Structure 1
C-alpha cells in the first residue's frame, strides 16, 4: 500500500542557505512512515500491544533539488521489501511542480520491547509487503 501526505515548508525548517535543512527531510519521512503505519492499521498502540517496537537502522537518502519556504511537498511512502526481522520503506518527496526533491530507502528492524532484541516481523506488518 502506498500512502501520501502533503507538507508546506515552514520558516523553522529553513537553514542559512535559504532552503530546507537536510535534517528536516528525515522528519518529513518519519511523518510519512507514521502515516503509512496508521493507514495499514498499525498505529503505535497496536505495536505496543504486540510488545513490538520498530527501530530505524539505516537510511540512504538522496537530496535531488532544494525546497524553499512555502513550497508544498508530497511525501509518498511505499513498502519495498521485507526480511526476517527487518523491512524497507521507500520515501519519495516531490514538490508541487512534480520535481523530485529527495528520496530514501529506510530500513527498520522489529524488536521485542522488553528484551530489546530483534524479533521476526509480525504478520500484521508483513502483510502490506506481500500485496
Structure 2
C-alpha cells in the first residue's frame, strides 16, 4: 500500500454528535484518490493535456471507529484490479497515532474522455504502471 493522504480532523468537520461527519470521510478519501491515480500516471498534467480524466462509478465505505477533533489521519491505498477502462482500488484510513483502522473505501473508477463523456481504454503506459503495482502487491 502507498500513503495517499495525511491530515487532521478540524472542529468544523464534526457533526452534532461530536465526531467527524461522513462528508469529511468522503472528502479525505477523494483527496487520497487523486494522489493514488497520480501515482499511476493520471497526473494533473495528463488530465489537462490529454482531455482525459477519471469518473467514479462505485464507492463503498465502511466506518469502523469514530474519529474525533484533533485526530491525525493517514490513508494508505492499493490497487485491487485494472481492466481495459476501469480500475478498482481500496483506501484504508488510520488514526496516525494509534494505528487503528477507522474506515475503508473501495472504489471503481473509469478512465474518461472528458469531451465525449464516455469511458475509454487506459493508455498502455498507465496500464503498465498499474500492472506493475498489482504485481508488487502480490
Q: TM-score, normalised by structure 2?
A: 0.86
Aligned to 2:31: 31
Q: Distance in 2 between matches of 1:57 and 1:41?
A: 20
Q: Distance in 1 between matches of 2:32 and 2:14?
A: 20
- Tell me if structure 2 keeps the 8 A contact 1:3–1:39: no
Q: TM-score, normalised by structure 1?
A: 0.90
The alpha-carbon deviation at position 126 of structure 1 amounts to 1.8
CA RMSD of aligned residues (A): 1.6
* Partner SS for 2:118: coil
When residues 75 and 126 of structure 1 are mapped into structure 2, their CA distance, relative to the original with a 3 A threshold, is: same
Q: Distance in 2 between matches of 1:32 and 1:23?
A: 14
Q: Distance in 2 between matches of 1:4 and 1:116?
A: 27
Q: How many correspondences in the alignment?
A: 131
Is 1:97 equivalent to 2:98 in the alignment? yes
Deviations 1:96-129 (CA, angstroms, capped at 9, x unpaired): 2111110011111111111111101222332332
Deviations 1:27-76 (CA, angstroms, capped at 9, x unpaired): 11111112223344432231232221200110011000010000001111
* Structure 1: tracts of 5 or more residues without a match: none
Aligned to 1:14: 14
* Partner SS for 2:126: helix
Q: Distance in 2 between matches of 1:78 and 1:22?
A: 22
Aligned to 2:51: 51
Q: Distance in 2 between matches of 1:109 and 1:41?
A: 14
Aligned to 2:74: 74
Q: Pick which of 90-99 and 31-40 moved more.
A: 31-40
* Partner SS for 1:110: strand
